[in-house]
Structure 1
Amino acid sequence: MDGVTTGVRATARIVAQDDGRGGTALPVLAGQGPLALRRTRASGDGARVLLVGAMSGPLGGDHFTVLAEVASGARLEVGSAAATLALPGQAKGEARYDVRLDVAAGAELRWLPEQLISARGSDLRVSSRIDLAAGARLVHREEQVLGRFGEEPGRLTSRLTVRLDGRPLLDQEVSCGPGAPGGWDGPAVLAGHRALGQLVVVRPEFGPSPVGARMLGDYAALTPLAGPAVLVTAVAPDALRLRRVLDEALRDLG
């Protein structure tokens, strides 16, 4: 052994399908190592899955991947049992967390995990790519907290790409913490806040009846996208107040 420490590689995969009886089946529900999956009670005819962290992480050098596919007629909600905590590790280099979501026409995905916390000394790159067919429905929430209580954050880079019917709907990236481009903590970005989040809602009915842009308090805004979709962005002093803003925005959308 040469003493070099490598990170953990783990993949979780979910496939949701119409079960032919008005409900949703999960023919594939497979997780590895730190990415355990559990089916839990859902309301209505959908299925609900929780990501359960079986280990600490992601740590430096780790590479986690979550894949979810929702077939036509299926309804799936994915959450997590607890917040994800990015930590420094023995392995050198950044950690990676990749999310790949595919939603077919007539299917619905609600992606509602708990917060991602960037602890001091960590270095994490998150990449989320969502491919929606025309007629798909989506609620996608991301929340990031920079540092634990009284702690400086680690380095966090997060990119979200959403494509609808093969065309770009949203493609944005944010980078915060030590080594990030200057200005991330300035008045044009976080303005001293330590929690940031966004909500992407895609519904076919937004096409003929688009939602108008508006402010949601002092530090949040709702913006219609170039398609049957809206984007809510928000910053807040802490995770609790951030969640309240995003929950209220989702309730207002109906």
Structure 2
Amino acid sequence: MSGVHAVARIRATADGRGGTSLPVLESDGPLALRRTRGSGAEARVMLVGAMSGPLGGDRFAVEAEVADGARLRVGSAAATLALPGQSKDEARYEVRLTVEDGGELHWTPEPLISATGSDLYVTTRADLAPSARLVLREEQILGRVKEEPGRLTSRLTVRVGGRALLDQELACGPGGPGGWDGPAVLAGLRAVGQVLVVRPEFRDNPVATRVLGEHASLMPLAGPGALVTAVAADGLRLRRVLDEAMAALGIR
């Protein structure tokens, strides 16, 4: 199998002084991790792409673990651009998140852009303890300016205390399921995103369902979660909607 294989790892633990330490911060190949200035008890890590990709045949993975009492925020320095490569194999990008009781993780990377001719399968799996807290934001742009998208499949699976909270998959672009661009899915729009918030207090006090703009909504999940989903004509409009949704939920 051709392509680049790389796995980057983060582990955050409470440092015993009211802050968060990073005993594991392992970069690999094109996946470079950099610690940046945190705030209060929170540690911050930036994912910096050291080369183009993922390309056809590449296998990338990022693993983040947050221990009891630790707080971690992970972002990225720039958008991820899925490109065609010499190999015709699909590229894969896996995100594996684990948060223990009393831990908190904000996973808010820059958008993923699916360029013409690319074929990428993205999987994000989050395993949370019952009192863990999570903010997860995804933004996906189908094609660059005046460009048709590549094929993009994205699956998100979230479990809390071993029980499924959310399991969804979206496939778009050439070769995708019929109707992906129709009125019931994207309706010709080219930017799709979501914000998932998991908080223990949502079990007893779920958020109220509401519409957020023309193509966005907020809904409670059957458990300690709330989900914002949105589609927009472009990445800028999508970002504005998701920013407003996070502000409405009190997330900075």
TM-score normalised by length of structure 2? 0.98
Residue 50 of structure 1 pairs with residue 46 of structure 2: yes
Question: Of 61, 64, 70, which aligns to 2:60?
Answer: 64
Residue 7 of structure 1 pairs with residue 3 of structure 2: yes
Residue of structure 2 in register with 1:252 after alignment? 248
May I ask how many residue pairs the two structures share in their alignment? 250
1:6 deviation in Å?
A: 1.3
Residue of structure 2 in register with 1:171 after alignment? 167
Q: Which runs of 5+ in 2 are unaligned?
A: none
Residue 226 of structure 1 pairs with residue 230 of structure 2: no
SS of residue paired to 2:236: helix
SS of residue paired to 2:137: strand
Q: In structure 2, what residue type is equivalent to 1:11? A: V
Question: Of 89, 98, 101, which aligns to 1:102?
Answer: 98
For 1:111-165, what per-residue CA distance to the aligned partner results, in whole angstroms no more than 9, with x for missing partners? 0000000000000000100000000000000110000000000000000000000
User: Following the alignment from structure 1 to structure 2, what is the Cα–Cα distance between the partners of residues 14 and 108?
Assistant: 14
User: Following the alignment from structure 1 to structure 2, what is the Cα–Cα distance between the partners of residues 15 and 104?
Assistant: 11
Q: In structure 2, what residue type is equivalent to 1:69? A: E
Q: In structure 1, what residue type is equivalent to 2:173? A: G
User: Following the alignment from structure 1 to structure 2, what is the Cα–Cα distance between the partners of residues 43 and 25?
Assistant: 13
Residue 19 of structure 1 pairs with residue 34 of structure 2: no
Q: In structure 2, what residue type is equivalent to 1:24? A: T
Q: In structure 2, what residue type is equivalent to 1:27? A: P
1:191 deviation in Å?
A: 0.7
Residue of structure 1 in register with 2:196 after alignment? 200
For 1:193-227, what per-residue CA distance to the aligned partner results, in whole angstroms no more than 9, with x for missing partners? 10000110011121221111111111001110011
- The structure 1 segments of at least 4 consecutive aligned residues displaced by more than 3 Å after TM superposition are none
Residue of structure 2 in register with 1:241 after alignment? 237
For 1:157-197, what per-residue CA distance to the aligned partner results, in whole angstroms no more than 9, with x for missing partners? 00000000000000000000000001000000001110000
1:44 deviation in Å?
A: 1.6
User: Following the alignment from structure 1 to structure 2, what is the Cα–Cα distance between the partners of residues 253 and 228?
Assistant: 14
1:43 deviation in Å?
A: 1.6
User: Following the alignment from structure 1 to structure 2, what is the Cα–Cα distance between the partners of residues 238 and 219?
Assistant: 12
After TM superposition, the structure 1 stretch with the greater mean CA deviation from structure 2, 18-27 or 203-212, is 203-212
Q: In structure 1, what residue type is equivalent to 2:216? A: A
1:20 deviation in Å?
A: 0.4
User: Following the alignment from structure 1 to structure 2, what is the Cα–Cα distance between the partners of residues 218 and 247?
Assistant: 15
Residue of structure 2 in register with 1:158 after alignment? 154
User: Following the alignment from structure 2 to structure 1, what is the Cα–Cα distance between the partners of residues 72 and 97?
Assistant: 11
User: Following the alignment from structure 2 to structure 1, what is the Cα–Cα distance between the partners of residues 130 and 209?
Assistant: 23
Q: What root-mean-square deviation, in Å, do the aligned CA atoms of Structure 1 and Structure 2 show? A: 0.7
Question: Of 78, 103, 114, which aligns to 2:74?
Answer: 78
